Chains A and B, each alone.
Chain A
């Protein structure tokens, strides 16, 4: 009840701050204006939307396979004791603050990238840091999905003389597909909403990047950077960005719920 109220309150309040501006300039303005100069009435959010989507998608491309493989390792390849330790470690990693990842990216990763492909703060740095951040989430949820595969099915595969990898590929992964899908979507949601880590390593230039080495700015980073001093229409535009982010996140949660439900029905 309370939670429903809070959800409504969040949407309501964020939208209420954003609505007057949207009503005045029209929703299209946020994607077609000549640029992002909110103090002079230009509100184009699309470069930042691109920034958000590209960093999140890139991170997922990296973290998805690696996370699932790590989970497979824990469930099927590692000795049980080692797997337990590994799981515990990943759990702890999931709790490390994003600002710490950001700090590490800023002091270690960015200088490294600067040497290979200047300037350093870049889409690539953002993708790498985000991938590290969502890895534990992907791993834990994939692990839970694999753990839920009925033991009889695995035994059945073993009884047919299937090897370890054949069992994983032929039985375990298909059976855990929905659970892994849910996990990946939730991780993507986290990547989309992540603020600090990305803000610290991406360079925050408002542009649609042309290469991995170009700096970008994400929607969330934009809000964090400008909220402190924004006034009037500028502030309202930031709330539009916030509403956009919320809509994206809610969409992903809804998708995850759909995927998860299909799972429940077999």
Chain B
């Protein structure tokens, strides 16, 4: 009987540990988000979202900071999306999956995705701020973010282009369609959900980034007048309030809440969009 007894006992213990781990994880995150809600929710209202910060951010709102964040994201997307899409199309359509060039590019993308964001900050500081003379500006920050988002966008876009069934490509070619129109009319629409997911990942990463922005787009919390002005991203604002401004914790919590909600909203919207898209194509 002992032989039958032991495994059962072990299985139960294992089940306990496994369930415990999952519960602990969910519990920890519920704790974090709960704290954030409790500390931040009371302060977030329309005025907070639109007013400029006062008293180094202890009072007032985050209006100009949201504007700067939006501009940073816009610059990042305007640069990274076309470049990333172009590179992905090149990789997926014009290089064989096992070819030398393709492998080299993919390898370097993986390395790029693993480079710490702070190093991107150093790089952006040298290239955009100093060498190109853009100074601490939204443009420098946005371009740095674009460099960070690019590997994510390219890899996900390439994967979703490659996931398009080969039969589609084959039959299009058999109908005498040219490569460009195969890409334009068939592959891009078919891969659209994956492409969108990649963009959302990229935006998420850019929105979450702090370290790379501190010394590329800077700290200035005024409303920027042009993209060559310095501007403070929301994440930098949270950092600054909690580290450098005694008594800034409340506003930091409120800002963190706004940031997290913005990220969730982007994720949710893209999930919705993808759902709708899937239905429109009548995917089986």
Contact = CB atoms under 8 A, between A and B. Distances in A.
Complex A–B touching at CB under 8 A: yes
Interface of A: 1-4, 6-7, 9-10, 13-14, 16-17, 65-67, 69-70, 72-74, 76-78, 86, 89-93, 95-104, 106-108, 132, 135, 139, 163-166, 168-169, 186, 189, 192-196, 199-200, 220, 223-224, 227-228, 238-239, 242, 245-246, 249-250, 252-254, 256-257
Interface of B: 7-8, 10-11, 14-15, 17-19, 21-22, 24-26, 28-29, 31-32, 35-36, 39, 83, 87, 90, 101, 104-105, 107-123, 125-127, 131, 147, 150-151, 154, 204, 207-211, 214-215, 235-236, 238-239, 242-243, 249, 252-253, 256, 259-260, 263-264, 267
Contacts of A77: 15, 18-19, 22
Given A3-B105, A257-B110, 7 more contacts: A7-B111, A96-B263, A99-B208, A100-B238, A102-B242, A103-B242, A253-B110
A166 B7 contact: yes
Contact of B87 (A2, A16, A90, A220): A2
A242 B119 contact: yes
Contacts of B210: 97-99, 195-196
17 contacts: A1-B105, A7-B108, A9-B127, A10-B112, A14-B126, A91-B267, A95-B208, A95-B263, A97-B209, A104-B35, A106-B243, A163-B8, A165-B11, A193-B114, A245-B119, A246-B119, A250-B115
Contacts of A91: 267
Contacts, number: 221
B10 A165 contact: yes
A3 B150 contact: yes
Contacts of B243: 106, 199-200
B87 to A, nearest CB: 5
Contacts of B113: 253
Contacts of A90: 25
The 6 closest A-B pairs by CB, nearest first: A193-B116, A97-B208, A69-B21, A165-B14, A195-B211, A73-B22
Contacts of A139: 25
- Among A2, A93, A199, the most chain B Cβ lie within 10 Å of the Cβ of A2
A17 B216 CA distance: 16
Contacts of A164: 11, 14-15
